[in-house]
Structure 1
Amino acid sequence: MSGEGEGKGAKGAAQRRKLGKVDIPTVTMAHGGGGKAMHDFIDDLFVDAFYNEPLAPLEDQARFSIDALARYGDRLAFTTDSYVVSPLEFPGGDIGKLAICGTVNDLAVGGATPLYLSCAVIVEEGVSVDLMRKVARSMAATAVEAGVEVVTGDTKVVERGACDKLFINTAGIGVIRAGVKLGVELAQPDDLVIVNGVLGDHGATILNARGDMKLDTEIFSDCAPLHGLIGALLEAAPNTRFIRDATRGGLATVLNEIARGSEVGIEIREGQIPIRAVVRGFCELLGLDPLYLANEGKIVCVVAKDEAEAALAALRAHPYGKDSVAIGHVTDERPGRVVMTTVLGGRRIVDTLVGEQLPRIC
């Protein structure tokens, strides 16, 4: 894509010219070489999947009206992330869905309405064209659900062995709603800590999909765009202090970031933390702690005590938040520490991992 643009169907710009097609089964170095093969590759995979008006001119950049952006709020939010998950397809999603959801959620947790994304792909020579087409269509479908447009991008093809099949980078622009103020430093004693459902599904799914240990009961990734859920939360609880998606490092890492950032203590109750029995059992077999497993459809929220009931009601009314629950609260005791009361009545410190217990989960 290299500024060559991507698109969502053979409309608009695609109607003004005939789209190129790829007629061989695998990606070759020619598909990144700047010639007709590359343009056909971009047309077939990305222009056919992502068409939208900012993309249609196929310039080296997407162009936006400042007035149009200002309708959504008073501040811009900008983020980027790269996706190198292995395997590329897994129960509940694939690398394309993950790339859209991850960037949309990174914007949404800051109180922004996600609007525009870029997509840059690094493809290894020899990858199936049908797989690439499937990933592009998955991205397009997820973008529609999330209400965003993929408006610019880049394509690079590298020699065999130079990358692991496919890497994707997405960057995103959103506009923060007027009056919204969220930050890791804003948690206060007596605030409640809320999660929007069961934790650890994504991390367990990726490990299981690699075949390291195949479960009889299949686990599905929770990968989902959470902009709508977060919008409902902020409408019901406008004084929400903090929201973060619990991706790499899981719940434990996010809670420690809050404790350090706000110089407060956080107390959670093990019995209140929603984890599927199959995920808990999987972790026990492999010696993993589900509190550190990655999620791709779960947020951790710190909400003012007097707005907690309204926040939970709004979250539970949304399909991606029906299992929302308060798992603990903020305290002025033990600043910088996260302490969990176990189901046996004991207490343990929940610290940050030095490394990563499960690599390449996003």
Structure 2
Amino acid sequence: MNFSNSHSTQYSLFQKIEKIRRQKNKVPDTHITLAHGSGGKAMRDLIDDIFIQNFDNPTLSQLEDQARFDLASFIKQGDRLAFTTDSYVVDPLFFPGGDIGTLAINGTVNDLAMSGAKPLYLSCSVILEEGLPVETLRRVAQSMQAAAQKAGVQVVTGDTKVVHRGAADKLFINTSGIGIIPTGVNVSAHNIQPGDAIIINGELGNHGTAILIARGELALDTDIESDCQPLNNLVETILNVCPEVHAMRDATRGGLATVLNEFALGSGVGIRLDEQSIPVREEVKGVCELLGLDPLYLANEGKFVVVVGRENADTVVSAMKSHPAGKDACIIGEVIPSPSGVVFLKTAFGAERIVDMLVGEQLPRIC
């Protein structure tokens, strides 16, 4: 008897039996209890019913304390590893255009993509407040899996903790991710040079506005949805036509203004924006005027800044427009040699003002 074949058959049988067992281990409770974080059967049933059922893949189904990978498969795809982590505490958990689960997947996927990396694997750790409805957690896990499938990544390991009622606000999520940077791709703010073009892939401020309205703090009737989406496929489209992209960064907390200030400070250059070229929905402008906010500082979850040499800008914009996530892409400014570390905005009236780094927090718990 061939031992390897026998072992493979036995393991395949074990997987089938284990899958049947998990299908039977449904969570009988309607709300999270401290027992779900105890490490016992209640916790195992929760993990099987909510997370394994939704995220099921060969790596996760091992149920080890870590995910294991073949390094040779990584080397075939690139010469560097990208790694990132982020935590999500958004309030409310569900909002037009997404929820905390889609944020957790897309946010980490996008952080990897901004280095030019191809995102591959994610971890998922959750902190649950005692009393959280189990159905809420199930909805979030389903959203996470749908987002992961759309982005082409897998959730391969994770952790679950339960805290006493009042020690957290319903549900917090941490996701970490790894990806492979293709050989020859070198995306960094330090590459930015005078004369470079500043490109954005679409309208600003939709996510921040959607969250604000979802909190019920404004009696407004609007169809604004979060722009939460994965950007890795759009980044791949850009790199296919222009591997020499100088810098990329997603404009999440702090918005476009914060990203550009980070670029200007990190590369020792100045940046000039054209206000009339920056795409912002009229409804978002209206909310900002009503509350005294600036759309340049509003959070986004599906928008990013691309900096390329001016000679490549039109090619990059054209390629971006061919992708659904970049259909509204446009050039919004340029890099100037001085003054170093300063971002200017040319207003619609022809004047210029300085766009400084965000001070304080316009909207807390936005992601």
Global fold match (TM > 0.5)? yes
Q: Write out aligned runs for 1:347-362 (5 A).
A: 347-362=352-367
Q: Distance in 2 between the 1:262 and 1:227 partners?
A: 24
Cα displacement string for residues 252-299 of structure 1 (whole angstroms, at most 9, x for unaligned residues): 000001111111110000000000000000000001010000000001
Q: 1:101 to 1:13 in 2, by over 3 A?
A: farther
Distance 1:39 1:92 in 2: 31
Could you say which residue in structure 2 is the equivalent of 1:32?
A: 37
The structure that is helix-richer by fraction is 2
Alpha-carbon distance between aligned partners in 2 of 1:334 and 1:41, rounded to the nearest angstrom: 56
Question: Aligned match of 2:87 in 77, 82, 87?
Answer: 82
Give the match for residue 7 of structure 1: none
Alignment identity in percent?
A: 59
Match of 1:216 among 205, 215, 221: 221
> Which residue number corresponds to residue 151 of structure 1?
156
1:11 touches 1:51 (CA, 8 Å); kept in 2?
A: no
Alignment partners' CA distance in 2, 1:245 and 1:12: 43
Q: Does 1:242 align with 2:269?
A: no
8 Å Cα contact 2:106/2:147 also seen in 1: yes
Q: Which residue of 2 aligns with 1:59?
A: 64
Asked if structure 2 preserves the Cα contact closer than 8 Å seen for 1:12 and 1:56, the reply is no
Question: What is the CA-CA distance between 1:69 and the residue it aligns to?
Answer: 1.2
Instruction: Give CA-to-partner distance per residue, 1:49-101, whole Å, 9 cap, x none.
Output: 00111111100000000011112211000000000000000000000000000
Q: Structure 1 unaligned runs (5+)? A: 1-9
Three-state SS of the structure 2 residue aligned to 1:56 is helix
- Pair 1:318 & 2:323 matched: yes
Note if 1:186 corresponds to 2:173: no
The corresponding residue for 2:234 is 229
State the Cα distance separating 1:115 from its structure 2 match: 0.3
Partner Cα distance (2:83, 2:25) in 1? 33
In the alignment, is the contact (CA less than 8 A) between 2:22 and 2:48 conserved in 1? no
How many angstroms apart in 1 are the aligned matches of 2:282 and 2:364? Answer: 23
Structure 1 residue 333, shift from structure 2 partner: 2.3
Secondary structure of 2:222's partner? coil
One-letter code of the match for 2:360?
Answer: G
Tell me the amino acid that sits aligned with residue 262 of structure 1. Answer: S
Deviations 1:144-178 (A, max 9, x none): 00100000000001110000000000000101011
Report Cα offsets for 1:28-63 as digits up to 9, x if no partner: 111111111111111110011001111111000000
**In the alignment, is the contact (CA less than 8 A) between 2:199 and 2:333 conserved in 1?**
yes
In structure 2, distance between residues paired with 1:244 and 1:351: 18
Q: Does the aligned pair in 2 maintain the 1:248–1:361 contact within 8 Å?
A: yes
Tell whether the 8 Å contact from 2:22 to 2:49 is kept in structure 1 after alignment: no
Distance 2:99 2:184 in 1: 36
Q: Deviations over 1:184-207 (max 9, x none)?
A: 111111110000000000011111
Aligned equivalents of 1:266, 1:12: Cα separation in 2: 60
- Write the distance in 2 (CA, Å) between the matches of 1:11 and 1:236: 45
Q: 1:235 deviation in Å? A: 1.0
Look up the equivalent residue of 2:69 and give its one-letter code: F
Instruction: Give SS of 2:62's match.
Output: coil
Q: Distance in 2 between matches of 1:179 and 1:127?
A: 47
Q: Is the 8 A contact 2:23 2:49 kept in 1?
A: no
Letter in 2 for 1:139: M
Structure 2 counterpart of 1:289: 294
| Partner residue of 1:256 out of 253, 257, 261 | 261
5+ long unaligned stretches in structure 2: 1-14
Cα separation, 1, equivalents of 2:107 and 2:46: 25
Structure 1 residue 16, shift from structure 2 partner:
6.8
Pairing partner for 1:169 from 174, 178, 203: 174
Aligned partner (choices 43, 49, 56) of residue 44 of structure 1: 49
CA contact (8 A) 1:13 1:57 kept: no
C-alpha distance in 2 between matches for 1:356 and 1:190 = 32
**Structure with larger Rg:** 2
Q: Pairwise mapping of residues 260-279 of structure 1 onto structure 2 (< 5 A)?
A: 260-279=265-284
What SS does the corresponding residue of 2:143 show, helix, strand or coil? helix
In the alignment, the residues of structure 2 paired with residue 162 and residue 83 of structure 1 have an alpha-carbon distance, to the nearest angstrom, of 16
List structure 1 segments (4+ residues) > 2 angstroms apart after TM superposition. Answer: 10-13, 15-19
1:84–1:167 contact (8 Å) kept in structure 2: yes
RMSD (Å) for aligned C-alpha atoms: 1.2
Q: Does 1:339 align with 2:347?
A: no
Counterpart residue type for residue 51 of structure 1: D
